[in-house]
């Protein structure tokens, strides 16, 4: 059953804010936008109307609001302005003739400064289907790559990480050798203190996009405190203990505006950077299921953005996965921009001239999340928001509508590219409630 959080107030801080949050932090100004459908959803052909308010110090102001209308992540195709009366204005958004989202982009200049906001509404999103088609040899390609990876025996280095141990949780730093080509992944392994053999479900947590350290490893310590073994990984084989300045330098050198590592080798399915990352996920599950604490049954994957994409990839590649939790998955329907008027997914290769074309789209089809989603058998719990301009709701629905496994969703229209601490804790509880009784394992 779809669960929808209906948000009546959605606001964005001033244009230069660096954090993707809607409610303004210590700002004198507050936008309030109210679609005339409480769930922000309409049928194709149905007209949408949005009431807009702007407050200063909590008091309504009569500003002139400029607006632009656009399909999700595409260039504006209409614009206009309205004068607020008693702090309120109404904007006729119109409709769509095909399933998708419309983005209402707002701006108002007050006291010499311009304040911006946006809100997206959906039209029959349950009918969105992906542009990306599955290659005929998709399963053979990945079966062969996993077989090749497994020719190398499982090997990993481990050392204590006392800085992340607590009175309830033990932590170790692992370096997992993922294949014979020299690739590796680092990860922090969290184990309940005193865990008995065969007592723990395991959880693999892949990271969001970027070349970066594993930030705030103890943020999700409640997994281990609730009896899980949890492995938080990075995917580039870089020691997370390096100083931030080192990660910044590496990122500047290898992750520039030309697409970075997500475009590395994009002209070849064999040379594409993410090939060893995807098979490395299976290797990480090999490791987790080799641990004496594993209960012999439950293997969960959980992540957001790129991490959400990798969670679905792992679930699609490895039938040992028993629960899958996903926030706004990246790497989804990436080539859809090739069709005029279609919205594609992160990393939005269309923004780099010449990078997305029919040739590179053939490579991406082997790595696109929508094609892995077709093979996920475990239950999935997926969360996404409508105002997300990183992993747009159009592509989240393309994934959601492709899944045929048991699935539940938490749709949070107000959210940009973030999830709350409460939502993330709730995901742990969902996994806990979905654990397969060990006595029932086949």
Question: Is residue 236 annotated as part of the catalytic site, yes or no?
Answer: no
> 42 near 143, Cβ under 8 Å?
no
List beta partners, residue 48. Answer: 94
Distance, in Å, from the CA atom of 308 to the CA atom of 306, rounded to the nearest integer, reads 5
* Residue 308: CB atoms within 10 Å: 31
Angstrom CA distances, 188 to 55, 158, 173, 339, 359, stand at 45, 10, 5, 42, 38
d(CA 398, CA 258): 26
Residues with Cβ within 8 Å of residue 97, at least 6 apart in sequence: 44, 45
Question: Which two structure tokens, joined as six digits, stand for 223?
Answer: 């997994």
Own/partner contacts of 374-378, CB < 8 Å, gap of 24 or more, are 374/134, 374/316, 374/402, 374/404, 375/139, 375/316, 375/317, 376/312, 376/315, 376/316, 376/321, 376/324, 376/403, 376/405, 377/315, 377/319, 377/405, 378/315, 378/321, 378/322, 378/323, 378/324, 378/405
Stated as kind and residue range, the H or E segment containing 363 is helix 358-365
| DSSP code of residue 19 | S
Residue recorded with tokens 């697409």: 259
The reply to whether omega before 347 is within 30° of 0 (cis) is yes
Token pair of 393, please? 């709701």
286, 388, 396, 409: the active-site residue: 388
Question: Among 183, 286, 305, 333, which one carries the catalytic annotation?
Answer: 305
Q: Is 38 a catalytic residue?
A: no
Per the annotation, the verdict on 340 as an active-site residue is no
CA distance 304 to 218: 17
Q: Could you list the active site residues? A: 305, 388, 417
């Amino acid at each position: 059953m779809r669960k929808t959080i209906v948000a009546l107030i959605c606001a964005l801080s001033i244009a230069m804010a660096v954090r993707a949050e809607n409610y303004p932090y210590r700002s004198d100004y507050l936008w309030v936008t109210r679609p005339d459908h409480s769930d922000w959803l309409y049928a194709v052909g149905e007209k949408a109307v949005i009431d807009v308010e702007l407050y200063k110090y909590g008091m309504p102001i009569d500003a002139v609001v400029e607006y632009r209308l656009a399909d999700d992540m595409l260039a504006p195709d209409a614009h206009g302005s309205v004068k607020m009366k008693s702090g309120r204005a109404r904007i006729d958004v119109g409709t769509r003739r095909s399933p998708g989202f419309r983005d209402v982009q707002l701006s108002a200049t007050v006291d010499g400064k311009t304040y911006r906001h946006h809100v997206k509404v959906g039209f029959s999103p349950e009918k969105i289907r992906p542009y990306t088609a599955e290659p005929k040899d998709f399963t053979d390609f990945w079966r062969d790559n996993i077989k090749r990876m497994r020719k190398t025996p499982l090997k990993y280095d481990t050392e204590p990480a006392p800085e992340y141990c607590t009175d309830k949780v033990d932590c170790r730093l692992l370096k997992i050798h993922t294949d014979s080509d020299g690739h590796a992944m680092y990860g922090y392994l969290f184990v309940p203190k005193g865990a008995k053999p065969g007592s723990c479900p395991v959880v693999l947590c892949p990271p969001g996009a970027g070349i970066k350290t594993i930030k705030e490893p103890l943020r999700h310590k409640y997994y281990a405190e609730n009896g899980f073994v949890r492995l938080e990984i990075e995917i580039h084989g870089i020691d997370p203990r390096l100083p931030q300045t080192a990660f910044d330098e590496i990122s500047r050198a290898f992750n520039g505006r030309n697409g970075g590592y997500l475009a590395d080798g994009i002209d070849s399915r064999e040379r594409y950077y993410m090939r060893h990352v995807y098979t490395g996920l299976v290797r990480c599950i090999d490791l987790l299921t080799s641990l004496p604490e594993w209960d012999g049954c439950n293997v969960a994957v959980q992540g957001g953005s790129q991490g959400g994409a990798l969670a679905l990839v792992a679930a699609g590649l490895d039938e040992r996965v028993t629960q899958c939790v996903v926030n706004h998955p990246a790497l989804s329907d990436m080539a859809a921009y090739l069709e005029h008027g279609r919205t594609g997914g992160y990393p939005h290769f269309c923004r780099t001239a010449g990078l997305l074309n029919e040739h590179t789209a053939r490579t991406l089809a082997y790595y696109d999340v929508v094609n892995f989603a077709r093979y996920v058998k475990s239950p999935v719990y997926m969360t996404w928001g409508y105002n997300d301009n990183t992993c747009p709701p159009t592509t989240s629905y393309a994934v959601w509508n492709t899944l045929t496994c048991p699935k539940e969703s938490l749709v949070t229209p107000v959210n940009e590219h973030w999830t709350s601490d409460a939502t993330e804790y709730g995901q742990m509880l969902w996994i806990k409630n979905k654990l397969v009784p060990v006595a029932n394992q086949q």
